[in-house]
Amino acid sequence: MARKDTSMTREEIQEFLAANTVLQVATQGADGWPHLAPMWYVMEGDKVMFRSFTKSQKIVNLTRNPNLTVLVETGDEYSQLRGVMIKGKARLISDPTYVVSVYGALAAKYPMINDTPMEMDREAMETAFGRFAAKNTVVVVEPSKVITWDHTKLGGGY
């Protein structure tokens, strides 16, 4: 008997990624070993993006080799496991204006300035994040393969 399909639809993927907060980012170090780091992320349409200091190991790795894998997953029991894994290439953007806008999007999702996320106008974003923009790079994940699983679709079975 064939196993039930546990893949997510495009709409389910979008909803899942929008609802979660931690992205595991895997890049390849110069020594050939994976470098894995948790990151806050936002969506731009159907693409995952995050920012990091340009001198961080993940950005250094992606400058050398743009291949990466990212993962968002949830669930503590097998029947509740859900995840989206994206294999792709990193598009690196260091334009300070764009970096500030991504900082703003992150601040709207995460408590970056105070205890709660907050929407900011351009001036507020520049004031809060402008001094960091030139030292940061935004990574847009350009997917080549998306793998999903949603074990809640199994109905408790295996």
Task: Give tens-digit pLDDT for 101-137.
Answer: 898 899 889 887 777 777 876 777 777 677 788 899 9
Place of tokens 């639809």: 9
Look up residue 133 and give its two tokens: 């923009």
The pLDDT value given to residue 2? 58
The pLDDT value given to residue 158? 64
Residue 48 half-sphere exposure toward CB, CA atoms < 13 A: 32
CB 101 within 8 A of CB 121: no
If one compares 103 and 2, the residue with the highest pLDDT of the two is 103
Q: Please report, for the chain, the start and end positions of each structural domain, with discontinuous segments joined by +.
A: 10-153
Residue (of 136, 144, 112) closest to 40 by Cα position: 112
Residue (of 151, 142, 122) closest to 48 by Cα position: 142
The pTM is what? 0.91
Per CATH, is 10-153 categorized as 2.30.110.10? yes
Q: How many CB atoms lie within 10 A of CB 110?
A: 15
Query: Of all residues in the chain, what percent carry a pLDDT higher than 90?
Result: 73
The pLDDT value given to residue 132? 80
DSSP bridge pairs for 83: 73, 149
24-43: average pLDDT: 97
Q: Per-residue pLDDT for 149 more than 80?
A: yes
The pLDDT value given to residue 119? 80
User: Which residues, 6 or more positions from 123, have their beta carbon under 8 angstroms from its beta carbon?
Assistant: none
